[in-house]
Chain A
């Protein structure tokens, strides 16, 4: 990562020598957005392009964006599904602010996305779908392809449907089935435009449709036809090269990974390293369900997945399994946490390990099921009756979900406490390259169960604490001589017997708090290259990418900004107060109305400023660069 190329405005191309008939330009980065109807297969198309790109060795970041409805009415604005991919020859941090290329499969996709596409960008439209009826459906009075709407864009009008059907005329498929392969035609065309390797996609299609070889062949044919179309048609005079991002990555083996997949792998890994069977109790909910799906594939690791009757039973079963000595995990999204709150409180009182994964989404109530938000922080922090502190871990990137899962499990088991893992919709579905851990990074960290009485008289006290961690012994059923009863009623310090004694309750409340406060958390690192910044930008969770990209822009423009990012939110790193007080101004960007800022102001009495957005979409780098620049102007007194 020595030659870091700044993540700046638009992609710059320079012609490079090409002996062929077509010109090849070299780019350092590209943002492509595929957009179409929910049924057009845009997520699959985006996934495939991402895989090709990952395999080619670019750095990348993705942003899937889809409606909550499985199939909204065809051709309507609410039914538009899109997938944005940013890839580069250097390390990048976000899925990109604005597409350089928009692929619009119908008028709705064009209308819904055009506002994000800057003039000068390329737009590839499927002209077959621009019928009078389809245009009217989304409120286009006239055809935007020829009324000047797209003036200033480089428009490629391609009859994708017709070309696909034509390519498949000998396939024996009915016209309707042939039409469905148009997304693969588009993928082939884009793969040609950006010199993507194609073997992976062909292999993927043959595997995906292994049981229907005629469909496999049709999709491969459409994919190749799209490629060839780019190669031969005059409409596409230029193709682009984006070199592998060789300097951006430490040595190692890489794969592309989404946040939810990384999280699931992290949980399996945690179970293996801790030597504990993994038990997942879960109830399907967007955007967390993929973790349940993934973990249910890994029963050969001894992973038990339990699809419960409701959210409450999901966490209840996980807690029951934890009592029995398993690594108990429950996965959900915000509304599910609301239902699980009472059981989380029970886990606090029982002092049993439990990992509670919240893939945050837009709220309140059902809110925006498929969109991202960070508004569950205070729910995780305080959303229980009584004083019920729960540690919180929050990954910063999709790949970071792996480490976060291992860390959450480690804290839970070491301190015998429920732990929150706060991911969100953006991390869950977004993807990026991930360096696969080496075997030596996966060494066991075994757990010690209680096996013997812990009192001189040979009795066993379930709440006799470890002096260092304040954790109580984990004595699992099946261990002779350690029979004991635990419950949600206040218990006597040490013996664990029911106790209503006022002084004991006060002591136990403070002990549970002290245990969480005492969790070892790494110090907060500050990135302040000039060392003289007055402005600190502090984020948490998934805002890391856009914040860091915004900071790069400001620094490139000569501004001094320090950046720090929290992945432990309870307890906070011990040096957080010192860090905050070192800077004249602290800006806290969050996808909520200022929840972290509220905590910082309350705990450290600093005048942290909020910069917030709750649109269901991640911040853009440009927004943050602007916000930081404004702060800098204020600090220097200039306007």
Chain B
């Protein structure tokens, strides 16, 4: 098992190099630092000196891949690729365009992001799995039919509608919780209640339908018939047999997103003014701060790969037949 994990981690290296090369190409080759400088300083009437100054301040004045003027190893290290892209591998993210340390920002913003993402994830999983089990229990009845209709309708509604509508109704009309904002400590609950609820509701439609199909597929299998033939009650069949066997397809979709919870939710955080990583990313996108976007792309890829690994490991937990070699 340990050998498997180590091998998988080695597989991650070429993928991360690929991610890095892709972002490097997007950010520095397709659009040269000159273009970026012109963009930041305003497209018209910008002097070449101003561009050079902007680039020098941010370390974009070096050659892209190979520095002819340097000596020894510095020929490779004193370049934009090494300074800006290769350093990401040791999680050295450098500074944002406004001069702040990206690594520090990420550390302080992770807390609020997790404070929203983790409750949303757990509550959402619990609600959708229970709802799907309910529909599967009452399969081929009116309840099931209208439940599915409700799911299809709910997944056809834009997530923006849930957020805007929820904010309007709960905060503006009913004055139950603040519209947006964040506070540390226990006070945070007041601010987190609405965003968590809205995110859970917004996810119900598609997830419930998806889990319901998984459960129905399991219910059609032979071992379920055997369990019923033994005389087990329908509830026992559902909870003890179907639910456990449906874990594999459910885990495939669920575990991979657990590490990505760190990244926060772009929409919810920016609508509710929560100082997490999601709103940090949106602010960076709007300010066209490429250094931050680059850092977030890299972190996202690392977390995704960790998620894939966790998925494989989780299979061994729910299904003893799975062996990792």
Determine if chain A interacts with chain B: no
